[in-house]
Amino acid sequence: MKKFLSSISTGLILYFCSVNIVHAQSTLITPGNNQPNITATSTNNGILVPQITLTGNLTSADPVSNPGAGLLIYNIGDNQDKGFYYWTGSTWQLLGGAQLTATAPISITSNTIKLNSGTAAGQLLTWDGYNWVNTYPKPADNLDNRQPYLTLNFSIALQGIYPSQNGYEPFLGEISIYGFNFAPTGWALCNGQLLATAQNDALFTLLGTTYGGNGTSTFALPDLRGRVPVHKGQGSGLSNYTIGQSGGTETLTIDNKY
């Protein structure tokens, strides 16, 4: 009889232990008397929630299968910021992290902020006063670079005294400015025209091919049409200019895309 009662006692103990072990894996706690479900009291420790590694896509529940809304985990992986996350029913939300929203053309997906694609290559994003819109860059603008000017007649002496420190003018190759529209006898307009070296050997020895020509049968006169003469050399804080050098433009192109 004693053996029989001892066997029954042992069986009951094993039964209740097995039930407790099974229920310990998923415990339902019902609050009562206005008390919280769980109270953890400690002065030097805390509660450790499940630690998992989330994927790069927060809308994917992986690695959890069918999580219930409100499920709390701690992400330890590098695919997302480390911290506490809870399942909203459709995405993992960082606990304490702001839920950002945006309007076109900005979109936010899985904590990733991006600009929506344009409709064609080369478009720029601009504010039209009401919305952000895709626009094409502005075309280049050509601006007038000319200063106030007065047009006169530049002529060069084809005849005269060969220049020397003690000579008298008019010097051969001298350039003068006239208010009339023709070149006097012995002078030629500074239009860059070619002259024969054989008929103008003295002037050729002065000018050479500084302004053009092949140097054997022809040489060119200075071309001052539409140009402002600049003294050769380098002024203080300015660029250096050599005789016969030309440059500059009448317009500046401003390639301003905005």
Closest to 147 (Cα-Cα) out of 250, 248, 23: 250
Q: Any idea of the CA torsion for 102, 107, 108, 110, to the nearest 10 degrees?
A: 150
Q: 169 with 160: CB under 8 angstroms?
A: yes
pLDDT of amino acid 5: 42
- Max mean pLDDT range (170-174, 204-208, 225-229, 247-251): 204-208
Instruction: For residues 51 and 39, give the distance between their C-alpha atoms in angstroms, rounded to a whole number.
Output: 21
* Residues in Cβ contact with 89 at an 8 Å cutoff, skipping those fewer than 6 apart: 69
Q: 145 with 247: CB under 8 angstroms?
A: no
Query: Which of the four pLDDT bands, split at 50, 70 and 90, describes residue 20?
Result: very low
Q: What percent of the chain has pLDDT over 70?
A: 81
Instruction: For residues 65 and 59, give the distance between their C-alpha atoms in angstroms, rounded to a whole number.
Output: 13
The pLDDT of residue 9 is above 50: no
Average pLDDT, the chain: 82
Instruction: For residues 106 and 116, give the distance between their C-alpha atoms in angstroms, rounded to a whole number.
Output: 6
Instruction: For residues 65 and 52, give the distance between their C-alpha atoms in angstroms, rounded to a whole number.
Output: 12
The pLDDT of residue 10 is above 80: no
pLDDT of amino acid 186: 93
Beta strands 72-75 and 51-52: pairing type? parallel
Q: Is 206 helix (H, G, I), strand (E, B) or coil?
A: helix
The pLDDT of residue 108 is above 90: no
pLDDT of amino acid 215: 96
Around Cβ 156, how many Cβ atoms within 10 Å?
20
Beta strands 218-220 and 194-196: pairing type? antiparallel
Assessment of whether the complete model's pTM goes beyond 0.85: no
Instruction: For residues 214 and 203, give the distance between their C-alpha atoms in angstroms, rounded to a whole number.
Output: 15
Instruction: For residues 249 and 146, give the distance between their C-alpha atoms in angstroms, rounded to a whole number.
Output: 9
Closest to 146 (Cα-Cα) out of 251, 22, 6: 251
Closest to 191 (Cα-Cα) out of 219, 171, 232, 220: 220
Kindly tell me the sign of the dihedral angle through the C-alpha atoms of 89, 93, 96, 100. negative
In the chain, the amino acid numbered 35 is Q
